[in-house]
């Protein structure tokens, strides 16, 4: 399988500041997914990126997939207290481009926002 490292492990920001978390892979990814888990909650699927250089936006969240499809980032503009949580970019098992449902989560990036 592919190894995906997510950084930073923790991030503390003041409300209104921007936040970015990065996922870096040693091998080319077929796609990348992003999830958010609020404290005490369950992971929620945010988005999937598939194409090289793809950029997608969801309100204040901007997701990017690198040109080489080896890295991805999630950027939050002007954080709010509702952004608090853990952000994950799990890796897929790839056998000829298919994941077959095997999705491995790491520890993610834990974001805290101080009001």
Partner 1 sequence: EAQVTQNPRYLITVTGKKLTVTCSQNMNHEYMSWYRQDPGLGLRQIYYSMNVEVTDKGDVPEGYKVSRKEKRNFPLILESPSPNQTSLYFCASSLSIPRGTAYGYTFGSGTRLTVV
Site for partner 1 in 5-34 (CB under 8 A): 30-31, 33
- CA dist., res. 110 & res. 64, Å (int): 19
Candidate list 71, 92, 111, 113; residue touching partner 1; CB under 8 A: 92
Of 10-18, 38-46, 56-64, 72-80, which segment contacts partner 1 by CB under 8 A? Answer: 38-46
Q: How many residues bind partner 1 (CB under 8 A)?
A: 24
User: Cα–Cα distances in Å, from 4 out to 22, 59, 70, 112?
Assistant: 10, 26, 9, 23
Closer residue to partner 1 (CB): 19 or 88: 88
Closest to partner 1 by CB, 13 vs 47, is 47
Q: Give the DSSP H or E segment for 81.
A: none
Burial class (CB in 10 A: 0-12, 13-18, 19+), 3: exposed
Q: Closest distance between partner 1 and the C-beta of residue 17, in Å?
A: 25
């Amino acid at each position: 399988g592919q190894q995906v490292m997510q950084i930073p492990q923790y991030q503390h920001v003041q409300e209104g500041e921007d936040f970015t978390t990065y996922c870096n892979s040693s091998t080319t990814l077929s796609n990348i997914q992003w999830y958010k888990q609020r404290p005490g909650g369950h992971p929620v699927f945010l988005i999937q990126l598939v194409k090289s250089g793809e950029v997608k936006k969801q309100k204040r969240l901007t997701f990017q997939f690198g040109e080489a499809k080896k890295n991805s980032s999630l950027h939050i503009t002007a954080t709010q207290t509702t952004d608090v949580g853990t952000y994950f970019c799990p890796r897929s098992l790839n056998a000829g481009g298919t994941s077959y449902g095997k999705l491995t989560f790491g520890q993610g990036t834990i974001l805290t926002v101080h009001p």
